[in-house]
Amino acid sequence: MEVAGAEAGDVIEVSITALRTIGWGWNSFPLGVGALPHDFAEPYLHYFTFDDARTTAEFAHGITLSMAPFLGVVAAEPAGEQPVSAIVSGGYGGNLVLRDLGVGSHLFLPVAKPGGRVWIVDVHALQGDGVVDQTAIETAAEGLDIRYDLHKQVPLRGPLGETGQGWIVIGFAGSLDDALVACLRELIGWLSAAAGITGPEAYALASMAVSFRVTQYANQTGSAYTSVPPKAVHAVIPKSVFPADIRDRVARWLRPDPAAQ
């Protein structure tokens, strides 16, 4: 979907306002993928039937899972002319598999090309941080409402999530160690710019109050895929630790008043 008026340097805010899945889903791992690509001799597949309210999924041995649907892939067209696989992710978004992107969430994506050209796929009914076998409860949507807002000239370098409780910064790399470092550096740079605190203060705050979580342990080198997705770590920054004036400053940084530009 093209966003009218979007130009390089702008930000598209993607807000999920409603999401209802279809009545079934599945989890699987083929051989050669996930955090344990060689530990199992046979591929795995399990189908789920959801309740009518789309709130629970029954697993094996009487285990009941509470559904928390979200969008796995949300992206704005990246820079360059080469095709980009839908299973990879980066500064443009992509296959984020960030389970926080459910109803009520917002994802800010930097625009690299005129029009932005946002694409959205990959509905998940439930997923834990890390998505270690490479799939969530995969499903589809029978109802989905999304709002798109264009914010002009916001110097955001990568995808940034927002929920009612916090802001979420993501780092990508070939290893979890490097992904954490990338995430931390992105957090320090963003908090310094948006909240007006110094780099050393942001580094210290990250150690005291921010949770760093494994977004995905992507590993598809033993599969038929030709693109290897990066590993990702995300940082959850709690809004509650900031006074109202800093929260307001961050809100204005993300959503600047057009009249003030």
Q: What do you get for the CA distance between the two ends of the chain, in Å?
A: 26
Residue pair 86/95 in contact by the 8 Å Cβ criterion: yes
Which tops the pLDDT comparison, 133 or 84?
A: 133
What strands, in cross-sheet order, belong to the sheet with 211-216? 141-151, 11-21, 106-110, 160-162, 166-173, 231-238, 211-216
Share of the chain above pLDDT 70, in %: 96
| Full-model pTM | 0.95
Q: Three-class SS of residue 11?
A: strand
Q: Residue 1 falls within a domain, yes or no?
A: no
Q: Residue 5 falls within a domain, yes or no?
A: no
Residue 202's region, left for phi above 0, alpha for psi from -120 to 50, else beta, is alpha
Q: Are strands 44-49 and 137-139 parallel, antiparallel or unpaired?
A: unpaired
Q: Residue 201 falls within a domain, yes or no?
A: yes
Q: Which helix (H) or strand (E) holds 178?
A: helix 176-195
Q: What's the domain count of the chain?
A: 1
pLDDT-derived band of residue 87, with 50, 70 and 90 as boundaries? confident
Share of the chain above pLDDT 90, in %: 87
pLDDT-derived band of residue 211, with 50, 70 and 90 as boundaries? very high
pLDDT at 229 over 60: yes
Q: Residue 261 falls within a domain, yes or no?
A: no
The structure tokens 């940084």 sit at 253
Mean pLDDT for 156-168 is: 98
pLDDT-derived band of residue 221, with 50, 70 and 90 as boundaries? low
pLDDT digits (tens, 9 = 90+) for 10-20: 999 999 999 99
pLDDT attached to residue 226: 62
pLDDT at 163 over 70: yes
Q: Residue 19 falls within a domain, yes or no?
A: yes
pLDDT attached to residue 1: 83
Q: Which residues is 120 bridged to in the sheet?
A: 74
Residue 196 burial (CB count, 10 A)? 13
Domain boundaries, position 132: 11-256
Q: Residue 18 falls within a domain, yes or no?
A: yes
Which of these ranges, 3-7, 28-32, 137-141, 211-215, has the smallest mean pLDDT? 28-32
Residue 33 burial (CB count, 10 A)? 21
| Residues 6 or more apart whose Cβ sits within 8 Å of residue 54 | 20, 21, 23, 67, 69, 125
pLDDT attached to residue 259: 65
In 3-state terms the chain splits into helix, strand, coil percentages (rounded to 5) of 20, 35, 45
pLDDT attached to residue 225: 59
Q: Are strands 89-90 and 93-95 parallel, antiparallel or unpaired?
A: antiparallel
Q: Are strands 89-90 and 137-139 parallel, antiparallel or unpaired?
A: unpaired
Q: Which of 154, 245, 152, 246 is nearest to 191 (CA)?
A: 246
Mean predicted lDDT score pLDDT of the chain? 94
